[in-house]
Amino acid sequence: MSFVPPPVVKASERLLVDVEIVVRRFARYHKYSIGSDLRADAKTVARLAHRAWRDRSHQQDLVAQLVRAVDDFKITLQLGSQVKAFPSFAQFEALARLVRDLGKQVGGWHRQHCTPKGQSAASDVSPQRAQILSTRAASIGANS
């Protein structure tokens, strides 16, 4: 195992740092409500990314949990936008882009671990002919 974290882990850490910086600028009401939810979700994403990177024996399950955690963060982020918690749209947009890129990386990691290696089961099945739904006589009668 290398000690240089993969891009997914670095992106999750970046998200955590940026969330902390943005939430500091929230109004007091939002800082302690939606802000604490954003912080908690970002911490969960970062922790799961680290665990999935380090724990090879449970990696598939941890990556699946990471996918769900990123989706949960996106929902909380949208809620923050809807309640106008962000001082500016640019701050929301920057976090949204960051989590979108993280989601792409996590999705790729998930596909890498959850797709079977080698030939897929679908390619083993021989192609089938289409079923004939009616007879020739019925087709000729319909065209007249």
Measured in whole angstroms, how far is the alpha carbon of residue 98 from the centre of its chain? Answer: 12
Q: Percentage of the chain with pLDDT > 90?
A: 63
CA-closest candidate to residue 67, choices 52, 89, 86: 52
How many beta carbons lie within 10 A of that of residue 36, not counting itself?
A: 13
Enter the tokens of residue 87: 């001082």
Domains with residue ranges and CATH for the chain: 7-116 (1.20.1440.60)
Residues with pLDDT less than 50, the chain: none
In this predicted model, what pLDDT tens digit does every residue of 70-93 receive, in sequence order? 999 999 999 999 999 999 999 999
